[in-house]
Amino acid sequence: MILETKVSQPIPTVHELSGHLHIFFSLRGVQCGRKSDAFKLWLMWSTLGLDYFRRVIEETEGCAQYFAETIRNRNGFLLYLDSHQCTNVFFWYVPPRLRERERSESWWTEIGQVTRSSIISQ
């Protein structure tokens, strides 16, 4: 009941559009903001328990390690860092024309151009 009354009340949010301030009323107050995220985390934690979160985190870390090792051993890909950070695995795609060349300053410049052009084309 409390949740229903809180969600049904309009929550003003301020947005700037074309230099003018507009106030929009949101009906999704429970889904927005840090307080609601903390509440959802606490609710999951109290329901599922510490062991569940430990298993999920360890499994995710294992997946990141596996992915980093796969990238390390795969031709045409190069890890950005020697080891992954948390669950983030950063890597470069190395086009066939650059795979056999020596890694000089011009080589790294070309890798940067390949990366930029693939990001811009999306």
Per residue in 14-40, is it b (16+ CB within 10 Å) or e — as a string?
eeeeeeeeeeeeeeebeeeeeeeeeee
Confidence (pTM):
0.58
Q: Write the pLDDT tens digit of every residue in 59-84.
A: 999 999 999 999 999 999 989 888 77
Q: What pLDDT was estimated at residue 83?
A: 79
> Among residues of the chain, what percentage have pLDDT more than 90?
26
Q: What pLDDT was estimated at residue 86?
A: 82
- What three-state secondary structure class fits 100? coil
Distances (CA, A) of 3 to 6, 13, 33: 5, 19, 15
Distances (CA, A) of 87 to 30, 44, 97: 28, 21, 30
Locate the domains of the chain by residue range: 49-121
